[in-house]
Amino acid sequence: MALVTTTKGDMDESLLVKQEGTVDNDNELTTWVEYWLDGELVHRSAHVTLKKMPSFAGGEAASF
Amino acid sequence: MANTQSMTTSFMGELLTATHNFGTAPIRAVSTADTFRAALYLVSATINASTTVYSSTGEVTGTGYSAGGIVVTNATPPTATNASATAGVAFFTPSASLTYTSVTLTTAFDAVLIYNASQSNKAVSVHTFGSQTITAGTFTLTMPANTTTTALLRLATT
């Protein structure tokens, strides 16, 4: 019996409808999980793994 | 042997540890690493390269989340590596994931601001991701590998 933290307190996972998803692109790998109770979202967690960092301009030493 | 023009890689690494000062620098009472924090921002916010300091404007609000975000774990100091006589990279990545535990953030957010809580909350970097909401759950941002090509912060000569 797995318990899920929800807006209504900890609940047995078997009482809930579970939905999961993944987003995988150049910028991130994201997984998320949702638990629904009678059409109401009672839990949502997300895990984002960053892949692509901001570009920092290359440094140079000036020529004379 | 030959001489080769370049900004030195060691200099770039030392920029990440506040070794050099060409202007007016804050007085540091200690030589230990600063405390950095990570704050989440709503999709409707405007934080970008022009952001100079942390602000609560546009920051997420919700159960379990405190304004200012969470402390960034900083157990691994910056690294500076030469790739050639002209190219080098200085880089840094937080040593642990950013984890916001037991939060409810019902308004969509898509960015995190890393800022220096030890230096008047001055901004460091902005990182974006797909829009998220969290309901009675956990939001985790896992850092990229701490390498010359993927680290969270990189300064490079080419």
pLDDT (tens, 9 = 90+) of chain B, 158 residues, equals 788 788 889 999 999 999 999 999 888 888 999 999 999 999 999 999 999 999 999 999 999 999 999 999 999 999 999 988 878 999 999 999 999 999 999 999 999 999 999 999 999 999 999 999 999 999 999 999 999 888 999 998 87
Tell whether A46 lies on the interface with B, counting CB pairs under 8 A: yes
Residue in B89, B87, B91 with CA at minimum distance from that of residue B6: B87
Taking contacts as CB-CB distances below 8 angstroms, the residues of chain A near B137 are 5, 33, 43-46
Taking contacts as CB-CB distances below 8 angstroms, the residues of chain B near A6 are 136
Angle, CA B128 vertex, CA B123 and CA B130 arms, to 5°: 155
CA distance B44 to chain A (A): 20
Long-range interactions of A1-8: CB distance < 8 A, separation 24+: A4/A35, A4/A43, A5/A43, A5/B102, A5/B136, A5/B137, A6/A35, A6/A37, A6/A42, A6/A43, A6/B136, A7/A40, A7/A42, A7/A43, A7/B104, A7/B135, A7/B136, A8/A37, A8/A42
A58 neighbors B155 (Cβ within 8 angstroms):
no
What is the pTM assigned to this prediction?
0.92
